[in-house]
């Protein structure tokens, strides 16, 4: 976890430097542009590939129609399930072969000691980071609130959507699953634009 924190801090520093042009000059605030960029990114945040792991309740969703996960799987305090129904029992470090087979993702590259462990999970119960049924304004405010977004700064949020294997999985979800309406590159660019232009939220 220390390695991850250090990497996030380093990534945030690099992003801040690039945004400010290396000379401390901040980009012009543009509320209309920020809101427009967030509305584009919102199409990905609320797509089943993202929303299914950010449900309103304690049961993950599955499929393009976001149905409740079978076997009555539950979040658990740490987001990894409860009792014998732990996420890692079925979800490994990569997608299993076959249509609609359990998907999987590894830990980030900086967590070298855990790269061979599955990382599939929901956000923890203390910070559930709900996307389901959130309006653009509600989700935008939630993503900016460190008490509700996993203690991420905007720059760390950008690093997360740019590099986290769980996010990247959305564009490589395995057989039988759709991908978000924007490419990963387009999605990251919209999140970056939203942040750079001041992070204004839709009304």
The mean predicted confidence, pLDDT, of the chain is: 89
pLDDT for residue 13: 41
The total number of residues shown for the chain amounts to 203
Running DSSP on this structure, what letter comes out for residue 71? G
Residue 33 burial (C-beta neighbours within 10 Å; 0-12, 13-18, 19+): middle
pLDDT for residue 203: 92
Running DSSP on this structure, what letter comes out for residue 33? H
Q: Is the pLDDT of residue 123 over 50?
A: yes
How far is residue 29's CA from residue 166's CA, in Å, rounded to a whole number? 31
pLDDT for residue 146: 96
C-alpha closest to that of 80 among 64, 55, 60 = 60
- pLDDT tier for residue 131 given thresholds of 50, 70 and 90: very high
What is the per-residue pLDDT across 9-23, written as a single tens digit (0 to 9) for each?
Answer: 434 443 444 444 444
- pLDDT tier for residue 24 given thresholds of 50, 70 and 90: low
What is the per-residue pLDDT across 82-91, written as a single tens digit (0 to 9) for each?
Answer: 999 999 999 9
pLDDT for residue 161: 98
C-alpha closest to that of 34 among 193, 143, 203 = 193
The mean pLDDT of 30-49, rounded to a whole number, is 98
pLDDT for residue 151: 96
3-state SS string over 101-165?
CCCCCCCCCCCHHHCCCCCCCCCCCCCCCCCCCCCHHHHHHHHHCCCCCCCCCHHHHHHHHHHCH
Q: Is the separation of the CB atoms in 176 and 99 below 8 Å? A: yes
Running DSSP on this structure, what letter comes out for residue 169? G
The mean pLDDT of 37-44, rounded to a whole number, is 98
pLDDT for residue 72: 83
1-5, 72-76, 165-169: least confidently modelled range? 1-5
- pLDDT tier for residue 25 given thresholds of 50, 70 and 90: low
């Amino acid at each position: 976890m220390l390695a991850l924190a250090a990497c996030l801090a380093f990534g945030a520093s690099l992003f801040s430097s690039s945004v400010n042009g290396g000379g401390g000059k901040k980009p012009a605030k543009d509320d209309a542009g920020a809101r427009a960029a967030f509305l584009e990114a919102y199409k990905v945040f609320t797509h089943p590939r993202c929303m299914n792991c950010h449900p309103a309740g304690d049961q993950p969703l599955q499929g393009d129609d976001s149905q409740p996960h079978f076997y009555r799987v539950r979040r658990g305090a740490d987001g990894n399930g409860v009792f014998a129904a732990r996420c890692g029992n079925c979800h490994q470090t990569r997608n299993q072969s076959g249509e609609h087979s359990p998907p999987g993702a590894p830990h980030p590259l900086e967590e070298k000691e855990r790269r061979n462990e599955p990382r599939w999970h929901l956000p923890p119960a203390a910070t559930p980071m709900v996307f389901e049924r959130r309006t653009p304004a509600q989700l935008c405010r939630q993503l900016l609130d460190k008490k509700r977004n996993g203690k991420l700064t905007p720059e760390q949020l950008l690093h997360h959507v740019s590099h986290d294997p769980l996010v990247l999985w959305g564009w490589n979800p395995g057989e039988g699953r759709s991908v978000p309406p924007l490419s990963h590159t387009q999605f990251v660019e919209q999140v970056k634009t939203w942040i750079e232009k001041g992070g204004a939220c839709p009304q």
